[in-house]
Amino acid sequence: MNETAITNQEFALFQRLIYKIAGISLSDAKKVLLVGRLTRRLKLHGLETFTQYYRMLADGGNAEELQAMVDLLTTNETYFFREPQHFDFLRDDILHRRRGGSPFRVWSAASSSGEEAYSLAMALAEHLPDTPWEVIGSDISTHVLAKAATGHYPLARTDGIPPAWMKKYCLKGVRSHAGTLLIVPELRKRTHFYQINLTQPVTADIGEFDVIFLRNVMIYFDPETKRKVVHNLLPRLRSGGYFIIGHSETLNGITDRLQAIRPTIYQKP
């Protein structure tokens, strides 16, 4: 497929647009990626230039196409039990000390296609067998959320799942579904997904949480957006709750409302 050329001025328009919508700072090095992912949308609408496509998006009259652009330009790399030290901490330091009370709730705030949310669901089902619990997953991309809601994944992407948990919490596909797995219904009915833009105040009726995972998404934000995102999420974290970020991220200089427990793990006083 021949790709439509983009000028520096046109690319700058899309940099500002995706920053305004999703808080993503798209570097100049991402120009080839943007052209590769959006050229098909121009051709679909019979447009010849990125300026024409930008005008279609910027006039506010095509919310569906705007969402399609966001879906294409957001990064959704994830897998089951990514950065396993955080799941060890959840098991040994949080759940081990859990003593009844209200249902235990965890928010996978940048859940992408759901692998992190279902990893959390497996951990809670395993270590809180007699306690009510719930996992919420959220993302800005409707495309990955639709995939997450199915709980259906290729077997090739499930290496991180412990073998015993694979047998207990996953159903292997047969015949036309061979080579895939389905998260068991018992976990899927306690794992719910919402479209949430973390750069905006959270208005969805999702309640409060004992733990919030916000991992490997702030690397795409500038400091101002990081502060805004954390500020938007903290009202949803219960007092004494834990806020967990990715191993390449830090909250230094971002907020003083959390106490560092260890690198990448914070607690709300």
Please report where in the chains the tokens 């750069």 appear, as a residue: 199
| pLDDT score recorded for residue 259 | 97
CATH of the domain at 55: 1.10.155.10
Percent of the chain with pLDDT over 90: 85
Question: Do residues 101 and 57 both lie within one domain?
Answer: no
The two structure tokens encoding residue 173: 């596909």
**What confidence tier does 1 reach under pLDDT thresholds 50, 70, 90?**
very low
**What confidence tier does 6 reach under pLDDT thresholds 50, 70, 90?**
very high
| pLDDT score recorded for residue 47 | 93
Measured from the Cβ of residue 9, the count of other Cβ atoms closer than 10 Å reads: 9
| pLDDT score recorded for residue 160 | 93
- Catalytic site residues? 37, 139
| Residues spanned by the domain of 227 | 84-267
Provide φ and ψ at 232, rounded to 5°. Answer: -70, -30
| 14 HSE (CA, 13 A, CB side) | 29
List beta partners, residue 195: 139
Question: Do residues 136 and 261 both lie within one domain?
Answer: yes
Per-residue pLDDT tens over the stretch 152-196: 999 988 989 999 999 999 999 989 889 999 999 999 999 999 999
Per-residue pLDDT tens over the stretch 45-82: 999 999 999 999 987 778 899 999 998 998 777 899 99
Question: Do residues 139 and 166 both lie within one domain?
Answer: yes
Residue 2 above 80 pLDDT?
Answer: no
CATH of the domain at 245: 3.40.50.150
From 53, 73, 93, give the residue that closes a domain: 73
Q: Measure the CA–CA gap between 198 and 209, rounded to whole angstroms.
A: 16
Question: Do residues 222 and 260 both lie within one domain?
Answer: yes
| pLDDT score recorded for residue 59 | 79
Average pLDDT over residues 88-104: 90
Q: Measure the CA–CA gap between 36 and 102, rounded to whole angstroms.
A: 48
Q: Measure the CA–CA gap between 22 and 24, rounded to whole angstroms.
A: 5
Structural domains counted in the chain: 2
Per-residue pLDDT tens over the stretch 247-261: 999 999 999 999 999
Buried-state track 155-189, b at ≥16 Cβ within 10 A, e below 16: eeebebbeeebbeebbeebeeeeeebbebbeebbe
| Whole-structure pTM value | 0.90
Average pLDDT over residues 127-137: 95
Residue 101 above 90 pLDDT?
Answer: no
Measured from the Cβ of residue 121, the count of other Cβ atoms closer than 10 Å reads: 26
Average pLDDT over residues 234-239: 97
Question: Do residues 236 and 187 both lie within one domain?
Answer: yes
Instruction: Examine residue 14 and state whether it is found in any structural domain, yes or no.
Output: yes
Per-residue pLDDT tens over the stretch 191-222: 999 999 999 999 999 999 999 999 999 998 99
